[in-house]
Amino acid sequence: MKTAEIAQRYLDYFEKNGHTIVPSASLVTDDPALLFTVAGMVPFIPYLSGDVPAPYARAADNQKCIRTNDIEEVGKTPRHGTFFQMLGNWSFGDYFKEGAIRYAWELLTSAEEDGGLGFDPKDLWVTVYEEDDEAHDLWLRLTDLPAERIQRLGKDTNYWSTGLPGPAGPCSEIFFDRGPAYGIDGGPATDDDRYVEIWNLVFMQYEITNVRSKYDFDIVGELPNKNIDTGMGLERIAFIKQGVDNMYETDQVRPVLDKAVELSGRTYGADHEDDVRFRVIADHVRSSLMLMSDGVTPSNDGRGYILRRLMRRAIRSMRLLGVDGPTFEVLFTASRDAMKSAYPVVETDWARISQYALAEEATFLRTLAAGESILEESLVETKSAGGTTIAGAEAFLLHDTYGFPIDLTLEIAEEAGLSVDRAAFDTLMQEQRARAKADARARKRQLADTSVYRDLRALGETGFTGYSDLETESRVLGILVDGVSVDRATTGQIAEVILAETALYAESGGQVADKGVIVGPGYELEVLDVQKPVPGLISHTVEVSSGEVGVGQPATSVVDAANRRAARQAHSATHLVHAALRDTLGKTATQAGSLNRAGYMRFDFSWGQALSDDTKSEIEEIANNAVRDNLEVTTRVLPLDEARSLGAMALFGEKYGDTVRMVDIGGPWSRELCAGTHVSTSAEIGLISLVGESSVGASNRRVEALVGLDAFRSLAAERALVSQLTSSLKAPREQLPARIAELQANLKTAEKKIAAFESKALGDRLPALADAATRVGDTLVVAESLGTAASADDVRSLALQVRERLGSEAAVVALGAVVSERPVVIVATNDAARAAGAKAGVLAKTAAGVLGGGGGGRDDVAQGGGADAAALPAALASVKDAVGA
């Protein structure tokens, strides 16, 4: 049974049983505490917590998920995958334990010809929470499971909570027995891989508080509306139904594994380590494909870092299988073909996805080449010093700064007959992880407890009137101070104010929040920010300028009209620039993020190289031609599928409901899904002036522009600057580039002449410097300051000449100079001095320490520097002292 067929049978069964079928949410969640949708319940959290009323009493879905907390287990067990699909059925105050158990058992054990999954009841085991007699008795009554195959387990496995105050409850898990060939007898309680958990039924029935740990808390009482949250692992069901040993061999994953086998020339099933690598490749390539299909791009932080890590682990695994060259074109194509029937987006967006994948692979292959070069230097230095171990700090630097995997460092070091101080490396890694966890905990503590908005959201959605009105009369529904609900706020306090309706735009879709005020009888509030803390609820962060505001009072939201006008101009300009980019670069130049505020727009898009000046001018001209043509701007609210069929562009990773707002500028020329505020006609934008273009990642570029009056002011300032230059340089505007180039050439010529003169002047000092040598023990030492020098190379050259002039007797030369206002010390030693123990690298570090900087180099010649030029005499004296020590 194919994976897609299993999913469809599941959805068909629950639709037949009165469930609303909900499409999968994006892998990118808007929950600030999460990077990704890590479980099937994530999109339903507002409904399960009661923060937002559920739009249906019962639902079912197949949710895409990404989870990387146990990434090291991928490939080693039959069930661990970073990307997985979670089938779920949900009840929001409707059916409870009996319904959930009956539905699960019927679907699992019904014959395939009747639409079921055809499991033999004798292969199934069940666990329940040890104190949940109700669930235990229901399993006995509703199924033909014998009592010995219903096991009671503790809170650590069979009790669900978020680890925070709120809903919680016992759960019941269903396991498939793979048979004695896979492990010991005894049921799920043995915690053996023989028993595969395939379905978890969570019974949310309690409210908990005083949470001391995930399994230590106080139960306040039963929830007024009990919920059902279930999750059945699609990949786990698939590998069982397809008769294979693990999820990596199922129909949606195995094609990538087979291509990796083909590319490497090795055999799957012949070697355990190779098998793990094949499975890692298959999992990580599919996971990367699905992440990119939801708009994630490789980067060095957040979601992009996780994607980059997955892709680089796949590249590393191919390398460990003996493949050094690029493989992603073959591997990602295989994954696309395996997934496109279930997720057509991987084919429709293939140009964009493959562009990112191939660029990331090329970048990392270059990183590996650079890392190997750095590692090779470290190997040589370690061997020449008589060492046998690469320092853990060096291995960590390669890993952390250059992205060079520790496994490759270990492998290359071993080939060279050396080891790596793995203990020191692991300590540094643990310290880094501890810092990351501390940062994550700090972020989590900063998040507001959204339960505080639950009662307010239950009153209904906040009405937004700002598309048509800049002023709206309403009333105060709630006030929060420091996250706590209060009756009123007084002068000077910062508070959150919730209104029934508002004209003020909440930050979203790249557009920043409106500025404005909220006024009412006897009070005025300055609006500092406007946000949507939970879906459907708009919260105004305000400072009470005067008076006292209370719950239930009348309130009028007033938008700063000038700021809104400029923000509308910037947002509409962003749409024009997007359309101009696609006209100029092609359809793969898709949006990867934006920011709009009054007078300014920033737009990120997928593209792998810098734009030429001609291309930037063309984009700017196309956008401004659209402004000149006074194109009509229209908005429509329509079903999402209809908008997409009309070609509306959507921002990848953005969540959209069943109905969306579509913004047209000039008809289909610019057609995007957008909830932002816009001008009525393009001429209202006034002017778009591109002021910047830069890289924001291996495959992303960013353009920045000023809009409207801000663009005019910027151009006026440039005009004034040009006027000043024409006057100063006595050249007409069109000749300015040539005149400036001529001045630059003259300056370079003069600088070369000065450098040559200074170099000759230094060279003339050679005899005097050699004559200044003093004896320290058995070594001749020259430690002199040259004053200023054009470059460190000149100082180095002179130091080597002085060393040669001193002959074969042990000699150390230390010359200091100020180069570009910073002190530099060059130390050179001859063979006899080095034989006596004087090493230039050590002496340069000594001098650099006095200068407040760093230094080092080879034993024969080295350089040190710092920030304190006044300490140069003391630094040179320290070299002399070190020679005599």
Residue 523 is assigned to a structural domain of this protein: yes
Q: Are residues 107 and 216 in the same domain?
A: yes
Question: Which tens digits make up the pLDDT trace of 751-771?
Answer: 888 877 777 777 788 888 988
Question: Which tens digits make up the pLDDT trace of 624-670?
Answer: 999 999 999 999 999 988 988 888 877 654 566 778 999 999 989 99
Sign of CA dihedral 751, 752, 756, 762: positive
pLDDT for 29 beyond 70: yes
Q: Are residues 626 and 488 in the same domain?
A: no
Q: Are residues 122 and 160 in the same domain?
A: yes
- The SS3 assignment for 623 reads helix
Range of 81-95, 404-418, 426-440, 639-653 with top mean pLDDT:
81-95
Res 443: pLDDT: 39
Residue type, 392: G
Examine the fold and report which residue of 506, 538, 559 is the final residue of a domain before the chain moves on.
559
- The SS3 assignment for 166 reads strand
Give the whole-number percent of the chain exceeding pLDDT 90.
60
Residue 733 is assigned to a structural domain of this protein: no
Instruction: Specify binding-site residues for Zn(2+).
Output: 571, 575, 674, 678
Return the CATH number at 185.
3.30.930.10
Q: Are residues 99 and 188 in the same domain?
A: yes
Residue 729 is assigned to a structural domain of this protein: no
pLDDT for 441 beyond 80: no
Say how far apart CA 113 and CA 105 lie, in whole Å.
16
Return the CATH number at 610.
3.30.980.10
Say how far apart CA 387 and CA 849 lie, in whole Å.
26
pLDDT averaged over every residue in the chain = 89
pLDDT for 298 beyond 50: yes
Question: Of 445, 627, 517, 585, nearest to 33 (Cα)?
Answer: 445
Question: Which tens digits make up the pLDDT trace of 503-557?
Answer: 999 999 889 999 999 999 999 999 999 999 888 899 999 999 999 999 999 999 9
Res 440: pLDDT: 46
Question: Which tens digits make up the pLDDT trace of 324-370?
Answer: 899 999 999 999 999 999 999 999 889 889 988 998 898 888 878 77
pLDDT for 284 beyond 70: yes
Taking residues 684-694, what's their average pLDDT?
A: 94
Examine the fold and report which residue of 331, 364, 397 is the final residue of a domain before the chain moves on.
364
Q: Are residues 581 and 653 in the same domain?
A: yes
Say how far apart CA 325 and CA 368 lie, in whole Å.
11
> Out of 256-270, 411-425, 552-566, which region has the weakest mean confidence (pLDDT)?
411-425
Q: Kindly tell me the burial class for residue 12, based on how many C-beta atoms sit within 10 Å of its own C-beta (0-12, 13-18, 19 or more).
A: middle
Res 654: pLDDT: 58
Residue 742 is assigned to a structural domain of this protein: no
pLDDT for 446 beyond 60: no
Q: Are residues 494 and 610 in the same domain?
A: no
Q: What is the distance, to the nearest Å, from the Cα of residue 3 to the centroid of all Cα atoms in its chain?
A: 29
Structure tokens at 71: 């990434």
Q: Are residues 245 and 115 in the same domain?
A: yes
> Out of 69-83, 198-212, 625-639, 723-737, which region has the weakest mean confidence (pLDDT)?
69-83
State pTM to two decimals: 0.66
Give yes or no for a contact between 204 and 227, defined as CB atoms under 8 angstroms apart: yes
Give yes or no for a contact between 403 and 367, defined as CB atoms under 8 angstroms apart: yes
Q: Are residues 336 and 312 in the same domain?
A: yes
Return the CATH number at 835.
3.10.310.40
pLDDT for 393 beyond 70: yes
Q: Are residues 240 and 259 in the same domain?
A: no
Taking residues 602-624, what's their average pLDDT?
A: 92
Say how far apart CA 504 and CA 497 lie, in whole Å.
12
Say how far apart CA 790 and CA 762 lie, in whole Å.
10
Q: Tokens 């690029």 — which residue? A: 326
Residue 226 is assigned to a structural domain of this protein: yes
Q: Are residues 527 and 574 in the same domain?
A: no
Q: Tokens 């460990």 — which residue? A: 320
Question: Of 228, 247, 226, nearest to 238 (Cα)?
Answer: 247
Res 432: pLDDT: 77
Instruction: Specify binding-site residues.
Output: 571, 575, 674, 678
pLDDT bracket for residue 402 (50, 70, 90): low
Q: Are residues 44 and 171 in the same domain?
A: yes
Residue type, 20: T
Taking residues 197-223, what's their average pLDDT?
A: 90
Residue 760 is assigned to a structural domain of this protein: no
Taking residues 247-256, what's their average pLDDT?
A: 94
Structure tokens at 166: 């709120």
Q: What is the DSSP letter of 74?
A: T
Say how far apart CA 153 and CA 329 lie, in whole Å.
47
Question: Which tens digits make up the pLDDT trace of 716-747?
Answer: 999 999 999 999 998 898 899 899 999 999 99
Per the structure, the complete domain to which residue 273 belongs is given by: 254-364
Taking residues 572-580, what's their average pLDDT?
A: 96
Task: State how many domains the chain has.
Answer: 6
pLDDT for 280 beyond 50: yes
Residue 739 is assigned to a structural domain of this protein: no
Res 448: pLDDT: 45
Res 392: pLDDT: 86
Question: Which tens digits make up the pLDDT trace of 150-184?
Answer: 999 999 899 998 777 888 999 999 999 999 999 99
- 3-class secondary structure for 701-740? EEEEEEECHHHHHHHHHHHHHHHHHHHHHCCCHHHHHHHH
Q: Are residues 112 and 10 in the same domain?
A: yes
Residue 743 is assigned to a structural domain of this protein: no
pLDDT bracket for residue 450 (50, 70, 90): low
pLDDT for 599 beyond 90: yes
